[in-house]
Amino acid sequence: MIRFDTRDKKPTLWNVAALTGVLAAVLAVFLLLGAEQHAFAISLSLGLYLVLVVILLIRAYFGQLRYNPYSYNTIFYMGIALFLVAVLILLIRLTVLMVRQPELYAASAVLHLLLGSAKIYMLLTFPFILVFSAALCVSNISLIRHEGFRTVNMLGIILSFLLVGGELFLFFFDFAVSGSQREVMIHDLFANLFAAVYLYFECMLLGIMVADAIVVRYEPEPDKDFLIILGCGIRRDGTPSPLLRGRIDRALRFAEKQKAQTGKDLIFVTSGGQGPDEPISESASMKRYLLEQGVPEERILEEDRSSSTFENMKFSKAKIREVNPQGKIAFSTTNYHVFRGGLYARRVKMRAVGMGAKTRWYFWPNAAVREFVGLLTEHKLKQGLIFGGMVVFYVVLTLLAYR
């Protein structure tokens, strides 16, 4: 099993950049020598490049889990690796056709494969998107029936319509094209850019699903000094809501397991302020619950100022440093929130490993979508750089294809 937070150096992808430079130089040589005469060599070079890049991405992915599993890079590495594997499979098929029918498949076929890779990937994954969207709608309808109609409870349905709608739009938009070469070129450029943006969000969605599955199933090492319990809503009588009680019970189970295995007690950090409609702070509500479960008061550290997950981590870190700056830390939250909670912990420069409490089946998918949207909107610079790179990539390929 992979152990989180055991690596001090962040994995990098400079080797991928170097490989890309080598590939560009090799392809330039083949173009000068005559692309059509070296079609097989071009395809083989590109295939080898994709194999190496996928290996490096997977290696970086597992290195990232050991360094910091709660990172945007964790999602990005896995999502892009999945896409490149699909492109590699298509390229292998094309290379086989080149060997069997060299008169029909030349170097230009490789260029058109790269240019249309995003559209092809969308078509290949459409069955998955359809099933996924249907399941998301079912869970959202159940959520609305149990929790009532609110805009936030519609996120899963909205995402489902966007996913399926994007697929259908591209299919009908790209179904039949006519006009001058310039008009067709502009049409193809728009279609490929649309597919690339769609593909990016699809890959990130797949990446975060994999990342969530890993971090939720991970059991922290039983050597912790502090266990932060992230607050959420409480009832009108001041008792924890079912969601919050699940987080506390998950923390208690871990503490009991650690005590049984190592004999080491930990300190619970109850983190959560008082909302405008709450009779007491979430921290006080959690402390009361822990005392009722037999936890001694000296093993409870209150943090009652926070109003967000970021503040949960920031203020809890300050409390912990007053007691033991070198203490090992874990945090307990609901399963869909583990990844984002860990991300905020690292943002305040606190190394903490998370554990997730289960929630009702109809609640988790919509909450996970909310976390996914929140995660992407917090990385605007990275999104801008990636989208800018996509535009340059497809503009250059389109100009080459319609040269």
Q: Give the H/E segment covering residue 270.
A: strand 267-271
Find tokens 């699909």 and name the residue: 86
Find tokens 């094209």 and name the residue: 177
Distance, CA of 35 to CA of 361 (rounded, Å): 55
Q: What superfamily in CATH does domain 226-327 come from?
A: HUPs (3.40.50.620)
- Determine the pLDDT at residue 251: 97
Structure tokens at 59: 């290696």
**Pairing, β 352-357 against β 329-334:** parallel
**Pairing, β 226-230 against β 300-303:** unpaired
Environment class of residue 305 by beta-carbon count within 10 Å: exposed (0-12), middle (13-18) or buried (19+)? middle
Distance, CA of 247 to CA of 44 (rounded, Å): 52
- Determine the pLDDT at residue 1: 63
- Determine the pLDDT at residue 80: 87
Q: Give the H/E segment covering residue 285.
A: helix 282-292
Mean pLDDT by runs of 10 across the 403 residues of the chain is 80 91 90 80 92 95 91 86 89 89 82 86 89 89 83 85 93 81 86 88 84 88 96 92 95 97 97 92 96 96 94 97 94 92 93 91 78 76 79 82 75
Q: Give the H/E segment covering residue 217.
A: helix 181-217
Close Cβ partners of 181 (under 8 Å, ≥ 6 residues apart):
402
Would you give the DSSP letter of residue 369? Answer: H
- Determine the pLDDT at residue 357: 93
Distance, CA of 106 to CA of 193 (rounded, Å): 25
pTM: 0.84
**Residue limits of CATH 3.40.50.620 in the chain:** 226-327
Distance, CA of 2 to CA of 269 (rounded, Å): 26
Would you give the DSSP letter of residue 222? Answer: S
- Determine the pLDDT at residue 264: 96
Close Cβ partners of 270 (under 8 Å, ≥ 6 residues apart):
229, 231, 282, 283, 284, 286, 287, 290, 300, 301, 302, 303, 304
Distance, CA of 5 to CA of 220 (rounded, Å): 10
Structure tokens at 6: 């055991």
